[in-house]
A = this chain, B = another copy of it.
Amino acid sequence: MPRTSVLPPLVASETDAASAMSAALSTPYNSPRPEPPRRLMLVDSASAKPRRGRPRKNLRGDTRARIADAAAAEFADKGYDATSIRAIARRAGVDSALVHHYFDTKAALFADVVKLPVRPDRIVRQALEAPIERLGESIARTVLTAWENPKVKPVGVTVLRSAIGGSAAGGLIRQFLLRELMSAIADKLEHSGVPHAEAALRAELVLTQVAGVLIMRHVLGADPLASMPVDDVITRIAPALQLHIDGLT
């Protein structure tokens, strides 16, 4: 069984990342889903290489593909938040443990299904390794530096635009970003003794400032922020992030 999906790949190649993602995200996932022939999702993946000779008999690959198909269908039907690994396993006819074996987390499964070439949740988790009193600087540096990468920026711009736009596809991306980024930051704050609800609020405030800067510098390209050296932007943003992290104490 070839790997197919109701979710088109977000990015087909590095060179036309933005346009491919735009096209993919403009597909209304929640409207009646296209019937066969479904779109192949093997683009950009090692297993996509055409094989010669004997027909493929890779059962492991088939199981992984069946899980990815089930995940794509669940995400499309229920949105990111309401989709569970358990429901994906049930839909694929496998054990939940097998889903975790192939994909680790729901975030990883989502990133795989939509062919997200960057993992925003991983970038933020890396930033969160800093001690709490330097977290503002660490988040500003990690996120803004990642966006300087010319392969990351077009994807990031498209993802942000999609998340803020009103489409169903954008809604899925939005849920993924909010859930994964907020919970990562809030968890870190809770481990430092901040109460649960307060931690969630501070995490969201951090995201408001991060999103605002990324939009102004990279999506709108508005000067002076767009043309400043990234280190200068980091210097300006870090204190505002730290202020949200510290709260009103």
Contact = CB atoms under 8 A, between A and B. Distances in A.
Interface stretch (A1-9, A49-57, A115-123, A214-222): A214-222
Contact of A239 (B200, B220, B243): B243
Contact of A215 (B164, B182, B222): B164
This protein's copies in its complex: 2
Most B CB atoms within 10 A — which of A197, A212, A219, A222? A212
B225 A204 contact: yes
Given A164-B219, A235-B248, A240 B178 contact: no
Contacts of A236: 201, 205, 244, 248
A210 B240 CA distance: 12
A204 B237 CA distance: 12
B204 A224 contact: yes
B220 A164 contact: yes
A212 B220 contact: no
A153 to B, nearest CB: 14
A144 to B, nearest CB: 12
B225 A205 contact: yes
A195 interface: no
A216 B207 contact: yes
A174 interface: yes
A209 B213 CA distance: 8
A105 interface: no
Nearest to A203: B224
A211 B164 CA distance: 12
Contacts of A243: 239-240, 243
Interface string A26-68: 0000000000000000000000000000000000000000000
Contacts of A215: 164, 208, 211-212, 215
A163 B235 contact: no
Contacts of A163: 220
5 contacts: A160-B164, A165-B165, A205-B240, A209-B240, A215-B215
Given A205-B237, A240-B240, 17 more contacts: A160-B164, A161-B166, A163-B220, A164-B215, A165-B165, A200-B224, A201-B224, A204-B216, A205-B236, A205-B240, A207-B212, A208-B225, A209-B209, A209-B240, A211-B212, A235-B248, A239-B248
